Amino acid sequence: MPDLLRAHMSTTKKYAIKVWDISIRIFHWSLVAGIGFLWFSGEEGGNIMTWHVYIGCAMLGLIVYRIFWGIIGSPYARFSEFFKRPSHTFTYLKNILKGEKTDYLGHNPLGGWMVIILMILIFTQAFSGLFSSDDIFTEGPFYSLISSKTSELFTSIHHLNFNVLLAAIALHIGAVAYHVLIKKEALIKSMLTGEKQSPRPSRINTRPNYFFMLLSASVAATVVYLLISQA
Ligand code: HEM
Ligand code: HEM
């Protein structure tokens, strides 16, 4: 093969790298479906609120899972991989504003911050729900542990924080749309298949440790079970 052709092929060849393991993808799309349902049921009220409480507890379980998986999970799922110092994030922001091309297989530094913010907001939402009440027939499992004044405070947090969460989700979807439509990166496909294309082969083994996956899932499932059994 002529050298020039070989050189061209080596620059255009892409390697499929498994960036998002199966649990990250299940975590992500369960969050999307769960929060959609919680929004609908929260606004609707009535009998469906029994399921609001159950699914709300499951969202807390997802966050517990993701915290464990952020510590002992597959390489690109780890907080240490995508949580970047503010100075690093500002440099990244300056570079993209200058139109420079930046390559990140996992979350880029801004995306990393977004993940943390979304997780804190979802945690706050679900945690405040545990102490909330609609003053008719739905209350969180820990409602009776606190005074009605404190419960009112948690219920207000549950209402207010949801608007902040919606704004963060809108920003997140906007950022994904920018990468997909303007930068032509197939991010949504990656969150479905787990794979991203890279000009270089992976230097690290991205295979998750399935024992740790099961361990994290068991802890999360136990938390959900204990919460629901109190509800
Ligand atoms: C309720 C709505 C949503 C929530 C709470 C949410 C939350 C998240 C979280 C927490 C992550 C980080 C995943 C991880 O590392 O564990 C993430 C990543 C991602 N989300 Fe969402 N998401 C939502 C909706 C969507 C929608 C509707 C789309 C697609 C249209 C989407 C596309 C993505 C993509 C592509 C990534 C990976 C970004 C990257 O490559 O860095 N998300 N999302
Ligand atoms: C990510 C998780 C959650 C989301 C997104 C969510 C969302 C919502 C929304 C949108 C409302 C309606 C607020 C309004 O009328 O303005 C609501 C109400 C409520 N939620 Fe949740 N919720 C979540 C978790 C939970 C959990 C875990 C519990 C209890 C275990 C819970 C208990 C309640 C209660 C009791 C209400 C009624 C409050 C009232 O009507 O004043 N929620 N939730």
Distance CA 175, CA 190 (A): 15
Residue 6 pLDDT > 60: no
Nearest CA to ligand 2 atom 11: 42
CA of 27 to the centre of ligand 1 (A): 10
18 φ, ψ (degrees, to nearest 5)? -75, 100
Structure confidence at residue 40 as a pLDDT band (50, 70, 90): very high
Q: Is residue 5 part of a domain?
A: no
Distance CA 107, CA 191 (A): 12
Q: Is residue 112 part of a domain?
A: yes
Q: What is the mean pLDDT of the chain?
A: 92
Residue 9 pLDDT > 80: no
Q: Is residue 9 part of a domain?
A: no
Q: Give the 3-state secondary structure of residue 195.
A: strand
What integer is the mean pLDDT of 142-163? 97
Give me the pLDDT at residue 12, please: 62
The total of other beta-carbon atoms located within 10 Å of residue 141's CB is: 17
17 φ, ψ (degrees, to nearest 5)? -115, 130
CA of 28 to the centre of ligand 1 (A): 6
Nearest CA to ligand 1 atom 10: 115
Say which ligand is closest to the CA of 68: 1
Q: Is residue 104 part of a domain?
A: yes
Structure confidence at residue 18 as a pLDDT band (50, 70, 90): very high
Distance CA 225, CA 156 (A): 26
Domain count, the chain: 1
Whether the CB of 169 sits within 6 Å of ligand 1: yes
pLDDT digits (tens, 9 = 90+) for 64-98: 999 999 999 999 999 999 999 999 999 999 998 88
Domain that holds residue 180: 17-230
Q: Is residue 201 part of a domain?
A: yes
Give me the pLDDT at residue 3, please: 45
Q: Is residue 194 part of a domain?
A: yes
CA of 6 to the centre of ligand 1 (A): 38
Q: What is the pTM of this model?
A: 0.93
Q: Is residue 10 part of a domain?
A: no
Q: Give the 3-state secondary structure of residue 74.
A: coil
Nearest CA to ligand 1 atom 41: 107
Distance CA 7, CA 59 (A): 49
CA of 149 to the centre of ligand 2 (A): 17
Closest ligand 1 atom to residue 108 Cα is 41
Q: What is the CATH number of the domain that holds 197?
A: 1.20.950.20
Q: Is residue 11 part of a domain?
A: no
Residue count (the chain): 231
CA of 82 to the centre of ligand 2 (A): 30
Q: Which residues pair with 18 in a beta bridge?
A: 195
Nearest CA to ligand 1 atom 11: 115
